[in-house]
C-alpha cells in the first residue's frame, strides 16, 4: 500500500472559488435557457455581452492596479456577475446600458472595495439598481412571452434591437410588446401594480392575458416556468452543498408568510403567496443572488435572519414601495446589516462554557 506524507493542514478544502463559481453557472443554465425560450434570443445575446464586458473590464482594472490578471479572471466571479446582470435586465436593453451596468458592478461595487472577498454589496444588484434608477423606462420594457407575442423577433432582430433599437424589419420594442389583439402587455408585477392603482381587484387582475400561464393562474405567462427552472437549479446547488439551505429557505418562507398574512387581511388588494413566489426575481434571488458568499451573512443563525429579512423587504417594497420588483433593493439593504448580524449571531466557541453570575463569584 502506498502512503503519502504531507504537511498540515490534513483536512483540505474540497472546492476552490473557481469550481464553486462554475457550479453556480451550470445551475443557472436551465433558467437561462427557459428564459431565452419565452423571451427570445436577447437573453442569450445579453448574457454574452455582459460576460465579455465583465471579463474585459475586470482585466483592465486588474492591469491598472498591477494585480494578477489570469488568476483572478479564472475564478469565474466576473462571469457569474455578468450572467446575473444579463438575466435581470430586459432582453432588448440597449447594449451601452448593459455595459454601463457591468462597469458599475465590476469597477465600482467590486474592485473599488478591493476585489472579490472585500465587496460589501452584491455587485450584480448594484448594477441593477443603478440601471433601474437611471433608466426606469428602458428597464421596464420586457418583451411579451412568445406564447402571446404577435411578432417574434429572430436572432438577427434581437441583435439589431440591442445595438440599434429596431429590428431588421423596422419594429421597435414598443411594437414588439403588443399581443395578438394589439394590446400592450406589461410584466405580471407591473400589471398588478397598475391594475390595483386603477381600482381593479387582485382576482380581476388575474384575468388579464399576461396571467394565462397555463398551469396556474397566479404565474404570469412564461414567468412561472422560468421561476421553476431557477428553483431546480438552486435545489441542485443545495444538493451539491455549494450553498446551504438557510438563506433560500428562510427567504422563501418569509415571502410566503408575509404575503399570506397580507392576502388574509385583504385578498382583493394583496397578491397571494404563489403570485409573489412565481413572478419576478424571487427564485433566482433566493438561490443565486442572496447566497453570495461575500456579501451575505456567514453564520448559520445569521443566514436565517438575513434570508428572512430579504423576504420581508421584498413583500414590503413590492406592496407599498415605488418599484414592482424589490429583490435588488432588499438584498442591498440587508448587505448593509451583515456585520451587525454576524456580530450578534457568532456561534459559541467549542468547549467554552458561558459564564454565569454564580461562576463569577
Residue 311 within a domain: yes
pLDDT digits (tens, 9 = 90+) for 229-260: 999 999 999 999 999 999 999 999 999 999 99
d(CA 113, CA 91): 30
Residue 114 within a domain: no
Burial of 355 (0-12, 13-18, 19+ CB in 10 A): exposed
Band of residue 13 on the pLDDT scale cut at 50, 70, 90: low
Residue 288 domain boundaries: 185-344
pLDDT recorded at residue 215: 56
Q: Residues of the chain with pLDDT > 90: what percent?
A: 63
pLDDT recorded at residue 266: 93
* Residue 352: pLDDT over 80: no
pLDDT digits (tens, 9 = 90+) for 38-86: 999 999 999 999 999 999 999 999 999 998 888 889 899 999 999 999 9
Residue 38 within a domain: no
For the chain, give the mean pLDDT. 88
Read off the pTM.
Answer: 0.89
* Residue 162: pLDDT over 90: yes
Residue 216 within a domain: yes
Q: Using alpha carbons only, what angle is made at residue 118 by residues 114 and 123, rounded to the nearest 5 degrees?
A: 90
Residue 254 within a domain: yes
pLDDT digits (tens, 9 = 90+) for 168-226: 888 888 777 775 444 556 788 888 888 888 888 888 888 887 876 555 667 888 888 99
pLDDT recorded at residue 214: 52
In sequence order, which residues have a C-beta less than 8 Å from that of residue 77 and are 6 or more positions away? 17, 21, 116
pLDDT recorded at residue 182: 46
Q: What domain count does the chain have?
A: 1
Residue 339 within a domain: yes
Residue 262 within a domain: yes
Residue 290 within a domain: yes
Amino acid at each position: 500500500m502506498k502512503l503519502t506524507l504531507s504537511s498540515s493542514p490534513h483536512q483540505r478544502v474540497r472546492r476552490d472559488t473557481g469550481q464553486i463559481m462554475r457550479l453556480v453557472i451550470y445551475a443557472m443554465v436551465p433558467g437561462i435557457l427557459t428564459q431565452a425560450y419565452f423571451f427570445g434570443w436577447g437573453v442569450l445575446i445579453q448574457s454574452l455581452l455582459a460576460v465579455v464586458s465583465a471579463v474585459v473590464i475586470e482585466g483592465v482594472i486588474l492591469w491598472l492596479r498591477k494585480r494578477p490578471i489570469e488568476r483572478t479572471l479564472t475564478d469565474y466571479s466576473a462571469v457569474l456577475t455578468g450572467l446575473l446582470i444579463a438575466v435581470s435586465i430586459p432582453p432588448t436593453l440597449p447594449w451601452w446600458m448593459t455595459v454601463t451596468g457591468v462597469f458599475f458592478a465590476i469597477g465600482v461595487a467590486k474592485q473599488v472595495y478591493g476585489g472579490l472577498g472585500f465587496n460589501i454589496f452584491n455587485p450584480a444588484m448594484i448594477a441593477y439598481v443603478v440601471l433601474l434608477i437611471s433608466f426606469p423606462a428602458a428597464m421596464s420594457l420586457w418583451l411579451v412571452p412568445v406564447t402571446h407575442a404577435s411578432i417574434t423577433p429572430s436572432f438577427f432582430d434581437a441583435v439589431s434591437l440591442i445595438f440599434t433599437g429596431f429590428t431588421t424589419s423596422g419594429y421597435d420594442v414598443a411594437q414588439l410588446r403588443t399581443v395578438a389583439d394589439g394590446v400592450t402587455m406589461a410584466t405580471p408585477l407591473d400589471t398588478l401594480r397598475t391594475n390595483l392603482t386603477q381600482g381593479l381587484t387582485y382576482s380581476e387582475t388575474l384575468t388579464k392575458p399576461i396571467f394565462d400561464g397555463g398551469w396556474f393562474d397566479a404565474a404570469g405567462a412564461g414567468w412561472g416556468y422560468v421561476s421553476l427552472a431557477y428553483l431546480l437549479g438552486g435545489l441542485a446547488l443545495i444538493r451539491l452543498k455549494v450553498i446551504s439551505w438557510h438563506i433560500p429557505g428562510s427567504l422563501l418562507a418569509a415571502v410566503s408568510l408575509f404575503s399570506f398574512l397580507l392576502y388574509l387581511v385583504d385578498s382583493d388588494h394583496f397578491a397571494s403567496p404563489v403570485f409573489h413566489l412565481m413572478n419576478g426575481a424571487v427564485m433566482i434571488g433566493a438561490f443565486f443572488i442572496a447566497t453570495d458568499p461575500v456579501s451575505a451573512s456567514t453564520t448559520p443563525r445569521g443566514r436565517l435572519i438575513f434570508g428572512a429579512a430579504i423576504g420581508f423587504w421584498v413583500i414590503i417594497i413590492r406592496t407599498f414601495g415605488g418599484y414592482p420588483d424589490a429583490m435588488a433593493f432588499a438584498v442591498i439593504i440587508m448587505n448593509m446589516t451583515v456585520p451587525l448580524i454576524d456580530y450578534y449571531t457568532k456561534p459559541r466557541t467549542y468547549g467554552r462554557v458561558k459564564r454565569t453570575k454564580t461562576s463569577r463569584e
